[in-house]
């Protein structure tokens, strides 16, 4: 039989197989996951989780679909965190330092505690991309925050109340709209789609064996 471990889900003890992720352990224990279970593969950020191991002081963060259970694990999920989400029209704003001051002025209250970076479930240097955003270096902020899944854990630990994921999203939108070079491949492909020239190519790809599709993708021409 598989080894069982004791985990505490929302304060109640359960014995679950040690090979399970936190998410699967919750379902094994009888919880029906309706929210906070998104993609189940570690990229949607819906299953943000806070946990502590019995006898240890450190409070840890993870995604429940990625983290394997441990003996004496106390678990609480955070499927939603109330981030500040400003409304703006990307066609009307410009990539100036002033726009960040107008929309997310709280980033200038950062005290440099680095709690955001320490808690990031994707191990991103969150404090660094916030520093880039403060200085209006949006391309650098976009690159540094590219793998953010917007789980909100960083903001839950921030004493300054910064909504890091929303700041990161704004920097990526500004970069994509105004700063990054235009992709000729994309422009040409959109034109081909609008003209109906891609139908035969799409049908040919869909009728291609999966392994061949993967090979085509892995060896595709990438625009520099």
Pair 48, 153: CB distance under 8 Å: yes
For 93, the token pair is: 């704003």
Indicate whether this model's pTM tops 0.85: no
What pLDDT sits at residue 23?
A: 96
| Backbone phi and psi for residue 206, each to the nearest 5 degrees, phi listed first | -65, -25
Cα 165 from chain centroid (whole Å): 8
CATH architecture of 4-77: Roll (3.10)
pLDDT category at 211 given cuts 50, 70, 90 is very high
Task: State the pLDDT at residue 150.
Answer: 93
Structure tokens at 10: 């929302």
- Given this model, what pLDDT does residue 68 score? 96
Q: Can you tell me the distance from the alpha carbon of 89 to that of 2, in angstroms, rounded to the nearest whole number?
A: 54
**Does 173 have pLDDT greater than 90?**
yes
Q: Pairing between strand 48-53 and 60-63?
A: antiparallel
Q: Is the pLDDT of residue 41 over 90?
A: no
- The proportion of the chain whose per-residue pLDDT surpasses 70, expressed as a percent, equals 100
Cα–Cα distances (Å) from 195 to 36, 156, 185, 199, in that order, read 40, 47, 15, 10
pLDDT in tens, 135-152: 999 999 999 999 999 999
The phi and psi torsions of 49 (rounded to 5 degrees) equal -140, 145
Distance of CA 211 to the CA centre of its chain: 29
Q: What is the pLDDT of residue 189?
A: 87
What is the distance between the alpha carbons of residues 136 and 148, in angstroms, rounded to a whole number? 19
| Number of residues written out for the chain | 224
Mean confidence (pLDDT) of the chain: 93
55 contacts 75 by C-beta, under 8 angstroms: no
Residue 78 has pLDDT above 90, yes or no: no
Annotated domain spans of the chain? 4-77, 97-179, 184-218
Compute the distance between CA of residue 157 and CA of residue 26 in angstroms, rounded to an integer.
24
How, if at all, do strands 60-63 and 73-77 pair? Answer: unpaired
- pLDDT (0 to 100) of residue 35: 82
Burial class (CB in 10 A: 0-12, 13-18, 19+), 98: exposed
Residue 200 in tokens: 């035969």
* pLDDT given for residue 31 in this prediction: 93
pLDDT at 133 over 80: yes
Percent of the chain with pLDDT over 90: 78
pLDDT band at residue 42, thresholds of 50, 70 and 90? confident
- Write down the pLDDT at residue 83: 92
Long-range CB pairs of 53-57 (<8 Å, 24+ gap) are 54/8
Place of tokens 């409304």: 87
pLDDT tens-place string over residues 92-111: 999 998 999 999 999 999 99
Classify residue 181 as exposed, middle or buried by CB count within 10 Å of its CB (0-12, 13-18, 19+).
exposed
């Amino acid at each position: 039989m598989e080894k069982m471990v004791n985990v505490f889900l929302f304060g109640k003890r359960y014995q679950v197989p040690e090979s399970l992720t936190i998410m699967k352990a919750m379902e094994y224990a009888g919880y029906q996951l309706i929210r906070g279970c998104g993609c189940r593969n570690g990229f949607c950020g819906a299953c943000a989780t806070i946990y502590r191991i019995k006898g240890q002081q450190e409070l840890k963060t993870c995604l429940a679909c990625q983290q394997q259970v441990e003996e004496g694990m106390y678990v609480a999920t955070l499927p939603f965190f109330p981030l500040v989400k400003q409304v703006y029209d990307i066609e009307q704003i410009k990539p100036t330092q002033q726009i960040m001051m107008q929309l997310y002025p709280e980033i200038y209250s950062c005290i440099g505690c680095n709690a955001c970076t320490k808690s990031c479930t994707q191990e991103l240097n969150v404090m660094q991309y916030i520093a880039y955003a403060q200085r209006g270096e949006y391309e650098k902020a976009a690159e540094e925050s590219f793998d953010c899944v917007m789980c909100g854990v960083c903001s839950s630990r921030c004493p300054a109340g910064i909504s890091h994921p929303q700041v990161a999203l704004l920097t990526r939108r500004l970069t994509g709209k105004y700063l990054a070079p235009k992709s000729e491949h994309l422009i040409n492909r959109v034109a081909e789609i609008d003209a109906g020239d891609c139908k035969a190519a799409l049908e040919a790809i869909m009728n291609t064996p999966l392994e061949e599709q993967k090979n085509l993708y892995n060896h595709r021409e990438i625009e520099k």
